[in-house]
Structure 1
Amino acid sequence: MSVVQLDEYGPWTVEPSPRRETDLQALQARLYADFADFVGRSDGYAFFNRFDNMLGIANGIDVAEYERLQERIRNRYPITVSVGVGEGETPVRAVEVASRQLQAAGSAQDPGRREVLSAGDTSDSTGQVTVGHFDIVGVTESFTDTEDAAAAGLEIQQSMLALKQRLLSEHDSIAQFVGGDNMIAVCPQLSEDAFGDVVDHVRDETGIEFQVGVGSGPTAHSAGGRAKEALEHCRETGTRVHEATAVQQQATND
């Protein structure tokens, strides 16, 4: 996993005077789009996280590519970014390692810390990525067509928060809202029963039911593609949890 952190961003937003909030939002959106394109070219995924701190699934992305990302941002934006890359047995452990790489180089608001790139002892092996693609069952009928947009958005976000918390606390997984009623999680290799526990917990806590497709592969893109196919199976059959089988995953490769 990689952590991409804007350098000295907080002070920049208010010096020499506070900048317009809409300008800052537009800059963050463009920067995230560039980051998503960057990891996408190497079959990775980008999570906007807090926008000033973004996360990437970094399997297959080498240090030289991150250097080119830093150069691109330096040339296109009035800010720079630092990058930490960490490896771990779970996504949470990998993010912890990546975060420590940056923290050891100095504070995020230290004007002397610019364009740090630290990958520590990461190996050349890509390993396996497991992705769960969650969405809400019947969201159009339950929310979009029956509640006002603000109320629907709040209820959906609350269910997403419960989902993120369960995945993080119980399964060392990192999940990100990706729009509409969709959440993508990068996980250790978990059983279908474990994913079933997650959706059952969120239903019991919030009253909102999710379905999830699960896929694995050497990169986030390959795993996520299989997860999307598995999610389509859920939608077609009413199944709440479905994992792409080895045969289906091999067919996707072919």
Structure 2
Amino acid sequence: MKNHQVLLAEDDFDFGSILKQYLEIHNFDVTWCKDGEEARDAFAKAYSDGNLFDICVLDVMMPKMDGFTLAEKVIEIDPEVPFIFLTARKMKEDRIQGLKLGADDYIVKPFEADILVLRLNNILKRSQRDRQIVTVANNKSTSVYAIGNYHFDAQNHTLTLGETVQSLTEKEALLIHFFYENKNQMLRREDILTKIWGNDDFFSGRSMDVFISRLRKYFKDDPAISIASTRGVGLTFKLLPA
């Protein structure tokens, strides 16, 4: 079985060296970059060569380019790649910024290396499960759905209204598909999280809130569509009949 490819961006030499060795012991192939610009270039080159990284581990505080900016550059190249932030700061603002960027996890230093390995494996399992769900959805006879005035292409990850085409990430497409399949039904938060994120922990819950905000913006031009929240209970994807 092929090892998972990890991009590690960490400017602390001693800490980065330890992480690289520990991950390699646990059967990850690691490309270690010492600053944000080096990591961006490594990711871009690998992508252009067709050697995709499976996951990125990004330190927040780095020279030349910080981890948040690096994540934005990485997402521009490959919006589906999962990533984790490492930081020595416990500031709420950092966690919020990471969530807005779509981070899959956020680990505060110091931490045990085996914690990172466990979280990487969990994220990669969820990522693999998501790809399997998309494959099943794409193999169905219908992959394009009329949702109000929109056309949702589950296979190509697009949402179209008139001449406007909104490209979707894989997770956005999964969430829309799940909502549409259960339209006008109250969905419990934990059920959505388990189905799409693979778990219902605090971090995934905050990430889901960011994705819900995005979907509300995507569907804002059709008053027949809304995503209603029942505080502390769940969400309802409301679609009025034409």
TM bin, normalised by shorter chain, reads: under 0.3
**More RCO (CA 8 Å, sep 6+):** 1
TM-score for the superposition, normalised by structure 1: 0.26
- Please state which structure has a larger fraction of its residues in helix: 1
TM-score for the superposition, normalised by structure 2: 0.27
